[in-house]
Structure 1
Amino acid sequence: MILILKTGATDDQIDHVIERVEALGLQAHLSRGTYRTILGIIGDEDKISEDSLRAIPGVAQVIPVLPPYKLASLDAHPQRSVVDISGVKIGGGHLGMIAGPCSVEEPERMDRIAEATRAAGANLFRGGAYKPRTSPYAFQGLGVEGLKILRDAGQKHGMPVVTEVTDPRNVEIVSEYADMLQVGARNMQNFVLLTEVGKSSRPVLLKRGMSATIQDLLMSAEYILSQGNSNVVLCERGVKGFDSCTRNLFDVAAVPVLAGLTHLPVIVDPSHATGRPDLIPACALAGLAAGADGVHIEVHDQPEVAKSDGPQALLPEQYADVAERMRKMAELLGKTISPPNPEAAA
């Protein structure tokens, strides 16, 4: 940590800052320049807070050298993490191909969509059994029955399943049926929920909040990591913008930015980012070109009757086309798409 002292700070003020730092068992190194005096602090910075340092007379600015997301930081973990979801790997050159409807629907439909996406090359099947909706009157999901339907479809076609958990009280039951727990954009800063999924043994897909900064996302990941769950995949799914041409603003630059800050895998969700099927293929490929470790796409065989988010879903044949293009992109980039392991799926 570095302290920049105010111009004109007195010797007594400087001595007081040094005494305060050393009283906590840290070392203080003083550097006097022509215009500025800087104090470098070495040691366990957790022993002192930035706010308490700013309150000391004579201190102008406090600059942390290490990021606050220590466990998620690339500095603390130089080797890229690879997350294993019941045999399907994401990160370290392995791509996650997540596909499926927004909401879990009737078993026959889920079976058809799982079969089609699996045949197209998807290695993870998704669907929401619990749906956080803006309106309390909108479809909220099938709950436990939906979890059973999702699991059965995934097992039949040998695909691990991903589903959203919206309530800390449901983490245990969702973990019984799902291979990966999703924390959605609306819950990215639900710290109680993050703590609970951090205590679970299931890998976690953490989506960026609609108004969240990159640091906000990494701090949310830190909550999960701090509870002992190191299997976290980050997802860029678009942030709020001012232009109504797309549902959200697809921040493709977030992918390489995150790659420079964290060891955690990063995937993209062009379905929620754009809300437009015509833009999904281009944005999916752009995400991979930017270095994403996977792509999350919503697929439905009859979008006009979908329980939720039908207008942004690709038809199975459209997904097959973009999946083939993503496979070629993966080959070009030297990455692999690990096939599902039917025996490992929950």
Structure 2
Amino acid sequence: MEIKSLKDWGLSPQQPFVIAGPCSVETPEQLDKTVSALVKNGIDMIRGGVWKPRTRPNSFEGVGSIALPWIKEVKEKYGVKFAIEVASPFHVEEALRFGIDMLWVGARSTVNPFTVQEIANSLKGVDVPVLVKNPVNPDLALWIGALERINHAGITRLGAIHRGFSNFNDTVYRNSPTWQIPLELRTRYPQIPLINDPSHISGKRDLIPHIAQMALDLNFDGLIIESHIDPDQAWSDAAQQLKPEALAELIGQLHTRLVSVDNPVFESQLEIIREHIDEVDREILEALSRRMRLVEKAGEYKKMNNVAIFQMERWKKVFETRPEWARALQVNPEFVKELFQLIHTESIKKQEEIMGVAFYSEEKKK
């Protein structure tokens, strides 16, 4: 993909790059007061929802096109740029008609290639920055596909927004960060600017600083954060919006990290640590190999004795004991739970293969 770097987007050289504003544009007064406060606190790229795709009907779905003249007015009054979400060619046409500076494709749109293609078609011949949020579910291929469709329409100022993924098991975050997915996107396409959305990941304003700092520690290019002049009275997503003053305080406390340093002593010590990590990783893989050989042996024994692959009592014992072992070894038990869920899934596959091969061989002999 041919993508321009963030510094070539014609934006203010903020560090970090921040887009901020209300979840929804509600009234002219609310928008004016919020933008005024954000500008006083150093923000010049504003976000605001005009059309809001909601999970259930009868929820507030944005005020619609009537907000666009309000946005145009605050853009001229405060000299700011503005970004909104678009979910259809009509949205794109309306946004461009009123001089919107940046568009983003939401998570519910990214999940549907037909919708993304319609948006992409409406962008042909247009020179406007476009951000694409990850799909609701953890599907990297869908995310990449959406970025490719927009890029094929001729958009070179193209970026990705990591807003977390749906996960009914997550009791901490509104959307699980699942950091490995945006990092894999960064690995495959390092030229695509990567923006983190700590508001939608957190779902609660007190968790936003942690997620924002984590994103910067992972070398994300910027943040998109929801900010409202009176968050508790917001018409949507009240719990995850910050007052402009609180946003400014947060930004002031964030630390940007160096990608590399010209320090031979540091590089030498880091290389030694990495060599030790490589040794441990090999030991882990050797242990996994031994475990899988034992799993195969168990599968063969089950086959010989006509025993089902999945044994609930055994799985319960593994799932209960391994996190406890991890806790005793000062390893995150939640991480170990996830790890052993993956190991268990692979163990089931191994034993299914054994059952299938044995059955096929017996049928062939007949």
TM-score category of the 2 structures, normalised to the smaller one:
0.5 to 0.7
Distance 1:156 1:247 in 2: 35
Matching residue's letter, 1:233:
G
- 1:317 Cα deviation from its structure 2 partner: 2.1
The answer to whether the 8 Å contact 2:21/2:35 transfers is yes
Query: Which structure: greater strand fraction?
Result: 1
1:117·1:316 contact (CA, 8 Å) conserved in 2?
yes
Q: For 1:194 and 1:117, how far apart are their aligned partners in 2?
A: 30
Q: Give the aligned partner of residue 281 of structure 1.
A: 209
Task: Give 2:242's aligned residue.
Answer: 314
Q: What letter matches 2:88 in structure 1?
A: D
For 2:66, the aligned partner's letter is E
Deviation at 1:213, TM superposition (A): 1.9
- After superposing on structure 2, the runs of 4+ consecutive aligned residues of structure 1 that deviate more than 6 Å are none
User: Hey, what does 2:145 align to over in structure 1?
Assistant: 219
| Matches of 1:152 and 1:205, distance apart in 2 | 23
Question: TM-score under structure 1 normalisation?
Answer: 0.68
Structure 1 residue 249: Cα displacement? 0.3
Residue 101 (structure 1) aligned to one of 22, 25, 36 = 22
Write out per-residue CA displacement over residues 210-246 of structure 1, whole angstroms, 9 at most, x where no aligned residue.
1042232111100011111111110000001212222
Q: Identify the residue that residue 247 of structure 1 maps to in structure 2.
A: 174
Q: Does 1:193 align with 2:121?
A: no
Quote the residue 1:208 is aligned against. Answer: 134
1:201 maps to amino acid: D
Structure 1 CA distance, aligned partners of 2:243 and 2:23? 13
Residue 227 of structure 2 corresponds to 299
Query: What's the % identity of the aligned pairs?
Result: 33
Are the aligned partners of 1:114 and 1:153 in contact in 2 as well (CA < 8 Å)?
A: yes
User: Given that residues 86 and 160 in structure 1 are in contact (C-alpha distance below 8 angstroms), is that contact kept between their aligned partners in structure 2?
Assistant: no
Aligned pair in 2 of structure 1 residues 208, 284: CA closer, same or farther (>3 Å)? same
Q: Is the CA contact (8 Å cut-off) linking 1:83 and 1:265 kept in structure 2?
A: no
Deviation at 1:161, TM superposition (A): 0.2
Distance in structure 1 (CA, Å) of the matches to 2:244 and 2:105: 25
Deviation at 1:315, TM superposition (A): 1.8
2:239 counterpart SS class: helix
Secondary structure in structure 1 of the residue aligned to 2:188? coil
1:95 deviates by 3.9
Could you tell me how far 1:270 is from its partner in structure 2?
A: 0.6
Higher RCO, 1 vs 2 (CA within 8 Å, ≥6 residues apart)? 1
**Size of the alignment, in residue pairs?**
253
Matches of 1:291 and 1:125, distance apart in 2: 22
Select the residue among 91, 94, 100 that pairs with 1:173: 94
The CA deviation at 1:308 is: 0.9
Q: Deviations over 1:13-67 (max 9, x none)?
A: xxxxxxxxxxxxxxxxxxxxxxxxxxxxxxxxxxxxxxxxxxxxxxxxxxxxxxx
Structure 1 pair 252/334, CA: closer, same or farther in 2 (3 Å)?
Answer: same
1:111 aligns with 2:32: yes
Deviation at 1:85, TM superposition (A): 5.0
The answer on whether the counterparts of 1:206 and 1:221 sit within 8 Å (CA) in structure 2 is yes
User: 2:174–2:200: 8 Å Cα contact kept in structure 1?
Assistant: yes
Q: String of CA shifts for 1:285-335, please: whole Å, max 9, x gaps.
A: 110110111101101122222111111111222111111123xx23x5389
Stretches of structure 2 that go unaligned for 5 or more consecutive residues are 261-366
Distance in 2 between residues matched to 1:264 and 1:197, nearest whole Å: 21
Matched AA of 1:279: L
Alpha-carbon spacing, 1:105–1:333, altered in 2? closer, same or farther (3 Å)? farther
Instruction: Answer whether contact 1:252 1:290 (CA < 8 A) is retained.
Output: no
2:197 corresponding residue in structure 1: 269
Q: CA RMSD in A?
A: 2.3
Indicate the SS of the match to 1:222. Answer: helix
Q: Which residue of 2 aligns with 1:164?
A: 85
Pair 1:159–1:264, CA change in 2 (3 A) = same
**192-201 vs 302-311, which deviates more?**
192-201
2:5 to 74, 78, 81: 81
DSSP-derived class of the 1:99 partner: strand
Higher Rg of the two aligned structures = 2
Q: Distance in 2 between matches of 1:306 and 1:282?
A: 23
CA distance in 1 between partners of 2:249 and 2:40 (Å): 11
Distance 1:89 1:222 in 2: 27
The one-letter code sitting in structure 1 at the alignment partner of 2:5 is S
SS of the residue corresponding to residue 102 of structure 1 reads: coil
Once the two structures are superposed, what CA deviation does each residue of 1:239-278 show, in whole Å capped at 9, x if it has no partner?
0121222211013334432221111100000100110100
After TM superposition, the score normalised by the length of structure 2 is: 0.64
Local SS of the residue matching 2:251 = helix
Letter in 2 for 1:182: W
